[in-house]
Chains A and B, each alone.
Chain A
Amino acid sequence: MTDIPLNGIANGTVARPRRDIGLKRRYAAERRFRIYGVLAISVGIVFLAVMLVTIIGKGYTAFWQTTATLPITFDANVIDPENKRATDPNVLITANYPKLAENALMAKLGINPDDKVAARKLKGFLSDGARAQLRTMVTDDPSIIGTTRNVEILVAANIDSAFKGQIDLSVDESRRKVSDQQVTWMKQLAAEGSLAEHFNKGLFTFGASSRPETSGMGVAIIGSFYMMVIVLLLALPIGVAASIYLEEFAKKSRLTDLIEVNINNLAAVPSIVFGLLGLSVFINFLGLPRSAALVGGLVLTLMTLPTIIIATRAALAAVPPSIRSAALGLGASKMQMVFQHILPLAAPGILTGTIIGLARALGETAPLLLIGMVAFVADRPATPLEPSTALPVQIYMWANEAERAFVERMSGAIIILLIFLMAMNITAIVLRRRFERRW
């Protein structure tokens, strides 16, 4: 028994040196390759993270809005100085409501009502939305005139930004949008507790407005909702019917081949082309109204159909032939087999595809721009035939505004849109995991 039996040198024979096959080099290449892969994935993830963080960072403040709670005296002398409201209903519409709010603010701040200079500076403090707000209060209940109520009034966008600390107050006064005097008043009111941030309901209810503080995505949410309902009602049944025909009934022929190529191609046609289609067919040829959610819904339906068809066909094809044979063997007709056995088993897959298609339709902007949904719509649409906008289009419109406060709202709207989309996508992923069946 030797101690070193395998050592060639000890045995006196010269071991041939192992042929250099570059193992070191090859392993290094292997490691490099792996690192490239990790890097590539990180690029995507890091970008996603940076994008989300910057958008959320810019937008989360949009969910709060500064309001001033003021004891407003509905002074009959201001609203109706000539006392004609009993005979002329227009008096209550055209009255000088901002004056009421201004008076209340002056009283609160202890400014002499005759101080014209201070009064002028005060003009930009409260939002112009106060006019409509107070007008609605009075026209809803004229008996309010002569009483004093505490009313929450939106402050102007600049004051809102300043109050949230987004305006650099160390800059010279002439180069920022808020004057020192306004800042002093702002602090005074805040100290008294009448100026405070509240949850921004207006972001979800207001329509378009030229003032950031009174603009919201109420119209856009309703418009998007209408469109999603239309897409769901049209694209799902048509898509499923088409897939059933192609997957279960169609014999291989020229026609079905053509349909197949068509569907695959339609899925890859740029979305803006569907906008052109909608403009010339639905609006110019069929005479449907511009900017209407109905037209948007139809365009998005055509766009979503291929996605749903492709997903549904995959889901139908995944149902094993044994189920088909069993159904047929028990005497079901082919139609009964499809509708009573295959379709229920394929439902989760169809649902997943539909949700993903809907999510894509919800985020789609380009075709909607062409059918006139870039519109200034202040009133909420009551039907899908009335002008409306859509969530992503609203974001686009805010992106074209210069004011800082609009950027904040835009980012807030993106957050809402992303929450909707994430919810839909995650539902789809979960559904797929949950019901994915290996036969």
Chain B
Amino acid sequence: MSLMLVFAAVLAIGAVAFFVGRQRALVQDDGKVKPHSRAHYHGWWAFLLATMPALLLLIVWGVGSNVYLQEHIKSQLPMQTADSPIASEKLAASLTTSLANGLRRLDPQTAANPPASFAELQPQLAARGVALAPDTQDYMIPIAVDANRMQDRLSLIGAILILAVSIGGATLGVSHVQVRARARNNVEKLVLWGLLGASTIAILTTIGIILSLLFQTINFFERVPLTNFFFGTVWDPRFAAAGSGGSEGQFGLIPLLAGTLYIALVAMLVAVPVGLMSAVYMAEYASPRVRAVVKPALELLAGIPTIVYGIFALVTLGPFLRDLSAALAGGTGFIQAQSVFTAGLVMGVMLIPVVSSLSDDIITAVPRAMRDGSLGLGATRSETIKRVILPAALPGIVGAILLTASRAIGETMIVVLAAGVAANLTANPFEAMTTITVKIVNQLTGDLEFNSPQTLVAFALGITLFALTLVMNIFALYIVRKYREQYE
């Protein structure tokens, strides 16, 4: 019996429990005693008792039996010697597992007594659309058959246990139904736990990010010294194709970090003045009619995915700037098609709506009284803005700028398409540089061996990026929060 079927059966038992429980509650309510909970709460309580423990057991059993099966297969495999065709025990176990899965596709007769040699078995499996690695060995076949038999046994026992628990829960739930039973309180308590559980997902995600990055990063630093990564000025990871074992490479963070910060700087130089001025204009000058048109337009600009900006930079703006600079210089252009300038410019435009919507909130949060006071003393609007509103909003704006900068540092698609892949260390904004995010993408796409430093470096880069943005975000959020409290 497959787990999906058991799952459906448990839900069906739960549904029955719900209706029986509710019906029982309705019948018991004879109007003499005021019932504590309405009938459907009794139904829900029976449903929860019938399903929750059973589903929990289902998950535990599913994972547990899988682990047990793997161990079982491993214990039966002969020791791998140096001259055996399969490199590791892990690989042999996974080959056996896929063989066992493949056997399941055959008709039961053949699956129970398959031919003894893999050469005979393979065409039969191939006819069913099962493609197996050619280095599957003959001795794996009986092990796989045995594993399948054991899996059948395990899932049968599991199914019986789970269904028993479910039926037991349902009976218990239905037997709980009484006029004064506090079914609603029970149900609500469980729902509250569910809500709490949902809200911890955010924490789990963060822990997941940190742990997974940290784990692989430690793995990386076991192969490459810390100082070579953080203070290295050369990025030349070399190529490690799958199976080659990985060759020596240099993993210097400095050129990537420099590129990241340089492009982010150019982007901020575009985005901050433009975004801030738009926000000021929208908040202080624009008539409601203009606001009604421009604000959605800026929101649409914010809704365009970054890949579209990247493609615009790659296909249109980059070549245009190159040709333009060629025309200006007469001959070869001084702006390369992929350059810090192009990427920064486009990223800056992408960030305009981010800056403007963040600062719009902050500017409108400045109390009306300060504005009126300044205007009443005879200051013009621009003077009020420059001397009263902006200084008052300054901490918030700094926070907004920091948040935007963290977006710029973490932005990926624009730089992947527009900044280039050469890890240069240069001060010329018209040349190509590359960023941390570009290299993460480069190192992890394509057919690479996972356990090589070439791949693991992506996680070291990732944790650097995460730490960098984390510090900026927390600081920015702290400032913005503090500022908001100031005027509340």
Contact = CB atoms under 8 A, between A and B. Distances in A.
Interface of A: 26-27, 29-30, 32-34, 36-41, 43-45, 47-48, 51, 54-55, 58, 237-239, 241-246, 249-250, 258-259, 261-266, 268-277, 279-281, 284-285, 302, 305-306, 309, 333-335, 356, 359-360, 362-366, 369-370, 372, 374, 392, 395-396, 399, 407, 410, 414, 417-418, 421-422, 425, 429
8 contacts: A40-B278, A243-B199, A245-B199, A269-B209, A269-B470, A273-B465, A359-B303, A396-B307
B307 A41 contact: no
A244 B195 contact: yes
Interface of B: 184, 188, 191-192, 194-203, 205-206, 208-209, 212-213, 215-216, 273-278, 280-282, 285, 294, 296-301, 303-312, 314-316, 349, 352-353, 356, 380-383, 385-386, 403, 406-407, 409-413, 416-417, 437, 440-441, 444-445, 450, 458-459, 462, 465-466, 469-470, 473-474, 477
Nearest to B381: A30
A333 B477 contact: no
B202 A43 contact: no
A269 B209 CA distance: 10
A272 B205 contact: no
A333 B188 contact: yes
B214 to A, nearest CB: 10
A421 B411 CA distance: 20
A134 to B, nearest CB: 25
B418 to A, nearest CB: 11
A366 B441 contact: yes
Given A273-B466, A421-B304, A281 B403 contact: no
Contacts of A272: 410, 412, 437, 440-441, 462, 465
Contacts of B195: 241-242, 244-245, 249
Given A43-B352, A268-B473, 11 more contacts: A29-B380, A30-B380, A39-B277, A44-B301, A51-B312, A55-B312, A270-B469, A273-B209, A276-B459, A363-B304, A369-B445
Contacts of B191: 335
Contacts of B216: 280
A359 B308 CA distance: 14
Nearest to A284: B450
B411 A270 contact: yes
Contacts of A41: 277-278, 281-282, 294, 298
Contacts of B312: 51, 54-55
A139 B152 CA distance: 40
Contact of A335 (B192, B280, B297, B466): B192
Contact of A44 (B199, B298, B444, B477): B298
B305 A44 contact: no
Contact of A38 (B206, B281, B298, B403): B281
A18 to B, nearest CB: 14
B173 to A, nearest CB: 19
B403 A268 contact: yes
B212 A277 contact: yes
A154 B407 CA distance: 44
A356 to B, nearest CB: 8
A395 B353 CA distance: 24
Contacts of B212: 276-277, 280-281, 285
B297 A48 contact: yes
A32 B285 CA distance: 13
Contacts of B213: 273, 276-277, 280
Residue from B274, B381, B385 having most chain A Cβ neighbours under 10 A:
B274
A-B residue pairs, 9 tightest by C-beta: A270-B410, A363-B305, A37-B281, A40-B277, A241-B198, A33-B382, A366-B412, A245-B195, A242-B199
Contacts of B437: 270, 272, 366
B383 A259 contact: no
Contacts of A399: 310-311, 314-315, 417
Contacts of B412: 270-272, 365-366
Given A34-B281, A34-B382, A273 B203 contact: no
Contact of B308 (A38, A264, A305, A418): A418
A366 to B, nearest CB: 4
Residue from A55, A262, A275, A305 having most chain B Cβ neighbours under 10 A:
A262
Given A58-B315, A365-B413, A45 B297 contact: yes
Contact of B382 (A29, A237, A277, A279): A29
A318 B473 CA distance: 26
Given A276-B212, A363-B305, A365-B307, A302 B274 contact: no
A328 to B, nearest CB: 14
A119 to B, nearest CB: 37
Contacts of B403: 268
Nearest to B294: A41
B305 A421 contact: yes
Contacts of B206: 262, 265-266
Residue from B297, B305, B469 having most chain A Cβ neighbours under 10 A:
B305
A410 B282 CA distance: 35
Contact of B277 (A37, A241, A334): A37
Contact of A268 (B300, B407, B445, B462): B407
A417 B199 contact: no
A425 B299 CA distance: 8
A44 B360 CA distance: 15
A315 to B, nearest CB: 16
Contacts of A51: 304, 308-309, 312, 316
Given A29-B380, A270-B437, A280-B459, A45 B281 contact: no
Nearest to A283: B450
A407 B277 CA distance: 36
A277 B205 contact: yes
Contacts of A38: 281
Nearest to A303: B205
A259 B203 contact: yes
Contacts of B382: 29-30, 32-34
A286 B285 CA distance: 55
A366 B307 CA distance: 9
A54 B311 CA distance: 11
A2 B339 CA distance: 76
Contacts of B316: 51, 54
Contacts of A271: 410, 412
A288 B227 CA distance: 35
A138 B213 CA distance: 53
Nearest to B441: A369
Contacts of B315: 58, 399, 407
Contacts of A48: 297, 300-301, 304
Contacts of B281: 34, 37-38, 40-41
Contacts of B215: 280
Contacts of B208: 277, 281
Contacts of B203: 258-259, 262
A363 B307 contact: yes
Contacts of B444: 275-276, 279, 369-370
A40 B299 CA distance: 15
A334 B277 CA distance: 46
Contacts of B440: 272, 276, 370
Nearest to B192: A249
B473 A265 contact: yes
